[in-house]
Amino acid sequence: MRQPDSGDFSWLQLSATRENLPIFQEFVINEAKRIKTSAEILQKVELVLEETLLNIICYAYPHNHEGSIQLGCCLPGPGELYIRIVDSGIAFDPLSRPDPDVGQPMQDREVGGLGIHLVRRMADRVEYQRKDEMNILDIVFRT
Protein backbone atom coordinates (compact mmCIF):
# COMPACT_ATOMS: atom_id res chain seq x y z
CA MET A 1 0.00 0.00 0.00
CA ARG A 2 1.08 3.54 -0.65
CA GLN A 3 2.79 5.29 2.22
CA PRO A 4 0.76 8.07 3.79
CA ASP A 5 3.89 9.94 4.87
CA SER A 6 4.45 10.85 1.24
CA GLY A 7 3.50 14.45 0.69
CA ASP A 8 0.25 13.86 -1.13
CA PHE A 9 -1.64 12.87 1.98
CA SER A 10 -3.93 15.34 3.67
CA TRP A 11 -4.22 14.96 7.41
CA LEU A 12 -6.61 15.97 10.13
CA GLN A 13 -5.86 15.35 13.79
CA LEU A 14 -8.47 16.11 16.44
CA SER A 15 -9.24 14.84 19.89
CA ALA A 16 -11.31 11.66 19.98
CA THR A 17 -14.68 13.17 20.85
CA ARG A 18 -18.15 12.75 19.45
CA GLU A 19 -18.39 16.39 18.48
CA ASN A 20 -15.41 15.97 16.14
CA LEU A 21 -16.98 13.09 14.20
CA PRO A 22 -18.78 15.32 11.66
CA ILE A 23 -15.60 17.38 11.18
CA PHE A 24 -13.66 14.25 10.25
CA GLN A 25 -16.45 13.17 7.93
CA GLU A 26 -16.63 16.52 6.22
CA PHE A 27 -12.86 16.53 5.76
CA VAL A 28 -12.89 13.24 3.86
CA ILE A 29 -16.03 14.11 1.90
CA ASN A 30 -14.32 17.30 0.75
CA GLU A 31 -11.31 15.36 -0.48
CA ALA A 32 -13.46 12.73 -2.12
CA LYS A 33 -15.47 15.33 -3.99
CA ARG A 34 -12.32 16.38 -5.83
CA ILE A 35 -12.55 13.18 -7.80
CA LYS A 36 -16.28 13.53 -8.40
CA THR A 37 -17.19 10.62 -6.16
CA SER A 38 -20.83 9.57 -6.59
CA ALA A 39 -23.40 10.31 -3.89
CA GLU A 40 -23.73 6.58 -3.13
CA ILE A 41 -20.03 6.16 -2.49
CA LEU A 42 -19.96 9.32 -0.39
CA GLN A 43 -22.66 7.82 1.86
CA LYS A 44 -20.64 4.64 2.25
CA VAL A 45 -17.58 6.68 3.14
CA GLU A 46 -19.61 8.57 5.70
CA LEU A 47 -20.94 5.34 7.19
CA VAL A 48 -17.51 3.71 7.38
CA LEU A 49 -16.11 6.80 9.11
CA GLU A 50 -18.99 6.91 11.58
CA GLU A 51 -18.41 3.26 12.50
CA THR A 52 -14.62 3.31 12.75
CA LEU A 53 -14.19 6.70 14.40
CA LEU A 54 -17.00 6.16 16.88
CA ASN A 55 -15.38 2.90 17.92
CA ILE A 56 -12.14 4.73 18.64
CA ILE A 57 -14.02 7.46 20.48
CA CYS A 58 -15.93 4.91 22.59
CA TYR A 59 -13.42 2.12 23.17
CA ALA A 60 -9.83 3.07 22.32
CA TYR A 61 -9.18 5.38 25.26
CA PRO A 62 -11.00 3.76 28.15
CA HIS A 63 -9.25 5.34 31.10
CA ASN A 64 -10.85 8.70 30.62
CA HIS A 65 -7.57 9.78 29.13
CA GLU A 66 -8.42 12.05 26.22
CA GLY A 67 -6.74 10.66 23.16
CA SER A 68 -6.71 11.89 19.62
CA ILE A 69 -7.33 10.55 16.13
CA GLN A 70 -5.26 11.21 13.04
CA LEU A 71 -7.04 10.80 9.77
CA GLY A 72 -5.11 10.79 6.51
CA CYS A 73 -6.62 10.90 3.10
CA CYS A 74 -5.29 10.72 -0.43
CA LEU A 75 -6.36 10.10 -3.99
CA PRO A 76 -3.65 7.75 -5.20
CA GLY A 77 -5.03 7.17 -8.67
CA PRO A 78 -8.11 7.59 -10.81
CA GLY A 79 -11.16 6.40 -8.93
CA GLU A 80 -9.41 5.54 -5.68
CA LEU A 81 -9.93 7.08 -2.28
CA TYR A 82 -7.45 6.02 0.38
CA ILE A 83 -8.14 6.68 4.06
CA ARG A 84 -5.77 6.04 6.95
CA ILE A 85 -7.02 6.21 10.54
CA VAL A 86 -4.44 6.28 13.33
CA ASP A 87 -4.98 6.21 17.08
CA SER A 88 -2.74 5.50 20.04
CA GLY A 89 -5.40 3.73 22.07
CA ILE A 90 -5.45 0.12 23.22
CA ALA A 91 -4.44 -2.38 20.58
CA PHE A 92 -7.48 -3.48 18.60
CA ASP A 93 -7.61 -5.26 15.25
CA PRO A 94 -11.15 -5.00 13.91
CA LEU A 95 -10.38 -7.53 11.18
CA SER A 96 -9.71 -10.24 13.78
CA ARG A 97 -13.29 -10.17 14.97
CA PRO A 98 -15.47 -12.93 13.56
CA ASP A 99 -18.34 -11.65 11.44
CA PRO A 100 -21.60 -11.64 13.35
CA ASP A 101 -24.10 -14.33 12.41
CA VAL A 102 -26.53 -12.23 10.40
CA GLY A 103 -28.75 -15.23 9.69
CA GLN A 104 -30.14 -15.56 13.22
CA PRO A 105 -33.80 -14.83 14.00
CA MET A 106 -34.62 -11.62 15.83
CA GLN A 107 -34.93 -13.05 19.31
CA ASP A 108 -31.38 -14.45 19.13
CA ARG A 109 -29.80 -11.32 17.68
CA GLU A 110 -27.75 -9.24 20.06
CA VAL A 111 -28.33 -5.52 19.86
CA GLY A 112 -25.09 -4.03 18.48
CA GLY A 113 -21.90 -5.52 17.10
CA LEU A 114 -22.70 -4.58 13.49
CA GLY A 115 -20.39 -1.62 13.00
CA ILE A 116 -17.23 -3.45 11.98
CA HIS A 117 -19.22 -5.81 9.80
CA LEU A 118 -20.66 -2.86 7.88
CA VAL A 119 -17.18 -1.37 7.47
CA ARG A 120 -15.78 -4.57 5.99
CA ARG A 121 -18.68 -4.94 3.60
CA MET A 122 -18.93 -1.32 2.50
CA ALA A 123 -15.24 -0.59 1.89
CA ASP A 124 -13.37 -2.13 -1.02
CA ARG A 125 -10.28 -2.91 1.06
CA VAL A 126 -9.48 -2.73 4.78
CA GLU A 127 -6.09 -3.42 6.35
CA TYR A 128 -4.94 -3.18 9.94
CA GLN A 129 -1.51 -2.88 11.49
CA ARG A 130 -0.19 -2.12 14.98
CA LYS A 131 2.97 -0.04 14.81
CA ASP A 132 4.81 2.20 17.30
CA GLU A 133 2.03 1.68 19.84
CA MET A 134 -0.54 2.87 17.34
CA ASN A 135 -3.50 1.30 15.58
CA ILE A 136 -3.33 2.00 11.87
CA LEU A 137 -6.39 1.19 9.81
CA ASP A 138 -6.23 1.63 6.04
CA ILE A 139 -9.44 1.77 4.08
CA VAL A 140 -9.74 2.01 0.32
CA PHE A 141 -12.79 2.90 -1.72
CA ARG A 142 -13.11 2.58 -5.45
CA THR A 143 -15.14 5.59 -6.42
Partner 1 sequence: MEISSQKMDKALIIIVSGRLDTTTAQDFESTCLDLIGNEKNIVVDLQEVEYVSSAGLRSILSVGKKVRSDGGSLIFCNLKGMVREVFEISGFASIFNIYETREQALEAA
Q: Is 141 helix (H, G, I), strand (E, B) or coil?
A: strand
From candidates 2, 21, 29, 67, binder to a second copy by CB under 8 A: 67
Residue with Cβ nearer ligand ADP (76 or 115): 115
CB under 6 A: which stretch of 10-18, 19-27, 31-39, 111-119 binds ligand ADP? 111-119
- Asked if 45 contacts 32 with a C-beta cutoff of 8 angstroms, the reply is yes
Burial level of 37, CB count in 10 A (0-12/13-18/19+)? buried
CB under 8 A: which stretch of 39-47, 61-69, 94-102, 109-117 binds a second copy? 61-69
Distance CA(30)–CA(40), nearest Å, equals: 15
Partner from ligand ADP, partner 1, a second copy, none contacting 90, C-beta within 5 to 8 A by type: ligand ADP
Helices 21-33, 39-55: axis angle to 10 degrees equals 150
Q: Is 130 helix (H, G, I), strand (E, B) or coil?
A: strand
Rule CB under 8 A: is residue 30 a binding residue for a second copy?
yes
CB atoms within 10 A of CB 56: 21
Partner from partner 1, a second copy, ligand ADP, none contacting 109, C-beta within 5 to 8 A by type: partner 1
Binding characters for partner 1, 17-36, by CB under 8 A (x = yes): -x--x---------------
Site residues (CB under 6 A) for ligand ADP? 51, 55-56, 59-60, 89-90, 92, 94, 112-116
